[in-house]
Chains A and B, each alone.
Chain A
C-alpha cells in the first residue's frame, strides 16, 4: 500500500493513466469488491471511521456530510457532484489529479454514489481545463464500455450515469449551492441554507457535492481501510494531502505529503526554500481566501485544526508565498480586485463593499491614501468579514487576507501613506 495513494500512478509517469494501466495497478478493485457485495451503510461507517475531511477548503467531515442524505424512498433521482471548478487563486492540485489519473476520480465517484444511493453524477469542471475535460470524457467512455458505469454496474442492481458538465466561468461556481444553480442552467448565485443540498439540492433532489481530491480519497479508504488511512497522517487528521507552493520559491510545485506535515518542511525541503535573493515575508496557507501567516508560523503542522489555531485556515493546502521584494499592499490589492470582480452581486455588503475596499487599496498603493483609509479597511473587514452579514462566505473569505494583512504588514500601509508612494520598485 502506497504512502502516496493519490499520486502513486502519477509520480514518475509521463503520460496519463488509461483504463488498462489503471486496472493493472489495482484500479477498480475497490469497486469490484464493493458494488453489490457490501452494504452501503457499511461504506458510510468506514468513511466516518476514517474521518476523511473535505479537501476543497472547508474541511467538513465527509462521512457526516453524507449521513445527512435521507434514506432512499421512491424512484426519484439522487445526485453526486464532483466540484472540479478549481478556481481558488494559487490552487493547482485537482487539475493534476484529473489530467493524469482520471479513473481515480471516477472510481471514487462510483463508490461514493453507491454509498448515498445516487443514480446520476456530474463532474462540474471549469471551462479552461480542456485537457482534463477530454481525458475525463475518454475515461468515462472507457469505464462505461467495461460495465463500470451506466445501468446495472458489474451486473448488480446499482446504476450510476456520469456526465461531465463544462462550466462557463465565474469563481462563485465553486460555492456548492451556486454550483447547483449553475448546473440547473441558472445564474450562479448561492442559495440560502437550509435546506441543505443533502436534502434538497439539484432540481430539489438529495445531492452531495464533494471536491475532486476528497472523492479520490474515497477509493483508497475503501480499498485499504480506515486504520490505514488514519495512520498516514502525522497528527489528528488522517490521510495525505496535496500541498503546493507558488511565488518566489526555488522549486514551485505540488506534492502529496502526510496530513500534518510542518509548513517548514514543505517550503524548505519540497519547494527548495526561497529563490535566490529572496526572503520569506509571509504566506497564504491555502489559497486567496485564507489569512496571512508569517515566518513565525513555519513550524505549524499543515492540518485543519493547527492552522486554524495559528489564525488562518489550511484551505486548499496550496500556499502562496509573499517575498521581501513584493509589496504586501499591492498583493492585497490584487486579491481584493479579484474578489470584487467575482462577487455574484446578490447581496449588498459584498457587491458594494468589495469594490469600495478595492478602491481604497488601489488609492493607498498609488500613493494617494490617508491614514483614515486604514480605519475604513478595518471597519469593512469586520463588517463584511462577519459570517451572517452576507449571503454566503465569499466576502468573509475576501476579508481574511485583508484583516490579517493589516495586522502583519501595517507598517507597509503606513509607509505607502506617509511616503505618498509604493516603496517597492518592480524588477522588470
Chain B
C-alpha cells in the first residue's frame, strides 16, 4: 500500500492531461449516465444529479418554458426514486422540503418541482393508517419546528449590532469581524448572566436590606478600591444574608440555597455551553478539514476572496495580498530547498528552548513578585490598589513583550502566532490562579470579600487600559501615520484584542462567585468596548495585509475561554467548596461549604440510607474506578478514531483508483464507439491484465448474449485479497512512456493516436 500512496501523491503532473482533455464534455455526459449517478442514495447526491441532468438539458434547449418544464420533470422523476421522500406523512414532507431547499435551482424551478411533487406524492404514497401515538409525535415535531423558526425569526429581529459588524466586516475583512463576533457573543452571555444574578441574588438581598436598613458613606477612592463603604455592600460576597429572607409577603427565600444553586447553574451551565461551542468549532475547523493533502494552492485560489468585502480599498488590498501570496507560494515551491545543517538545527532548538525558559522563568519571577508584594505589610493606605495597578500594567505590557520575543525564535509564522497566544493566556490565567490561591490560603478574615474586591479592582483598572489608553495609543499611531505616510499604518491586532476579552472573561469567572455584581460591570464594559473599538477600527485601523485564517484562530480563542472557565471551576472546587467560610457570606452555617447540599438540601444527618449511599459514592475507590473507566473509554474512542482515520485514507485511495478505472473504461468505450475494436492483447507480456482476462473469460463464445457468468464472479472474489495488484504494476509504464493505458496495449488506440499526430502534422 505504501508505494501506492506515493504513486498517487507524487504522480507526474500533466503527463496524461493533454491526451484526455478534449473528450471531457462527452465523457462528462457519459459519466452522468453511469449507474452510480443514476441511482442516488441520498438527497445530497440527488441535488448534483439533478443539476447534471439539467446541465445536459441546458445544452439541448434553454429559455423556452417547455424546457423548464422538462427540467422540472426530470428532477421530479429523480425524487420519485426515493421512497422515503414520497410518503404522504409529515416526516417525508419535511424531507421533501429540505431536499427542495437544497436544490441548486432558482425559486421558480423549485416551485414548479414542488407543485409536480405534491401531485405525484398523492399517487405514489402507500396509504397506511397512522397510529395515534405517531400522529401525536408528528404534531409535536411540527410544533417544535415552528417554534424554532419563530425563535430564529425573533433572534434576527433583535440581533444586536448587526449592521455595525457588517460594516466593519465590509471594510476590514471577515477576520476583524470575528473579533467583534466574539465580543458580541461574550456580551450577550454576560447579559444573561447579569440577568440571572440580579434576579436571584441581588433583588432578594435588596428586599432584605430594605427591611433592616443601614447607611454607609462613600469616598471616591472607595469606589475604585472597593473598600470602605463598599466593602459591606451588594457588590461583595460577605454582604449576602446567611438565612431565610422573609419579605412582607408570606413567602420566604432561603438565601444560601439561592446563592449556591444560582452559582452552580451559572458555572456548570456556562461551562457546558462553552464546551459545546468549542467542540463544535473544533470539529468543524480542525477535524473535518484535517487529513489528506493540504491543498494550499487550491485553497488560496478558491477560498482566497472574502466575499463580504464592500469597500474598494479593502478589495484592492485583498487582491494585492492574494497576489503576494501566490508569488510567495510559487517561490517557496520552486525554491531549491537548502537542507539545514545539524548545527543550524541544534542552534535553532537551543534558541527556542532558551526563550521558552526565559519566558517561563520571568513568569515565575513575576508570580513571586506578586506574592511578595501581596505579603508585604506596609502602613501605606491603598496598598491593595497599588498592587492591582502594578498587576494590570504588567498584564497589559507582557503580551507586547511576548510579541517581540517570538521574533527571536525560529518558528513558522502560524506557530509563532499560537505560541504568543498561549504564552499570554498562560500568564493571565496563572496570575489569576495565584491571586485566588493567595487569598484562599491567607488567614485574612473573610477572604472571599477581599478576593472579590481584588477582582473588582482589576476589572476596573483594566477598563481604564482598554477603554481609554489603548484607543488613545491607536489614534496617536494613526496620527503619526497621517503626518508621515511612508511607514505602514497600524493594523487591528486581532490576537491582542481578543486576548484582552478573554482575560476579562477569565476575571469574571474568578470574581463572579465572590462579587456577583461583577457580571454587570463586565457587561457594561463590553458594551462600551464595542462602541469604542468600532470607532477606533473604522477610523484608525487599516485592513490586514495578510489573509488571515479566521476560522481556526477563532476555535483557539474559544478554547482559551473554556479553559479559563475550567481552571476557575477547578480552583473553586478545591479551594472554596471544601473549606469553611464561617466569617461572612451566605454559607456561615455550613462547614464545609459543600455541606449546603448535604445538610441543607438533602438533610443527610436525618436520612441514614441516603447518607450511606453518598458516603459510598464519594469514596476514593469508587471515584478511582470511575476515573479508570473514563480513561479506558477515552482510549477506546481514540483507538476507534485512529482506525477510522486509516479507513478513510484507504477509501480515499480506492476512490482515486476507481476514478482512474473509470477514466480508462470511458476512453475504451469512446474508442469502441469510434469503431476501433481491433486490438490484440499481448498475453505473453502481461497475462494478468484486465484486457487479457476480459478477452479470455468474459467474451468467450459461451458468454455471448451477456448472460451472467458465476465463475467470473467467484474468480473476482478470489482475487479480492489483492484488489489493486494490476494497478501497482503501472507506475513503471507511466514513467517510461507517459501513457498509463499503454500497458493494455490497444492497438487500435495507438493507431488512432498516430492518426491524430499525422493529421496534426499535416
Asked if chains A and B come from one complex, the reply is no
Residues of B whose CB lies within 8 Å of any CB of A are none
Chain A contact residues, CB within 8 Å of chain B:
none
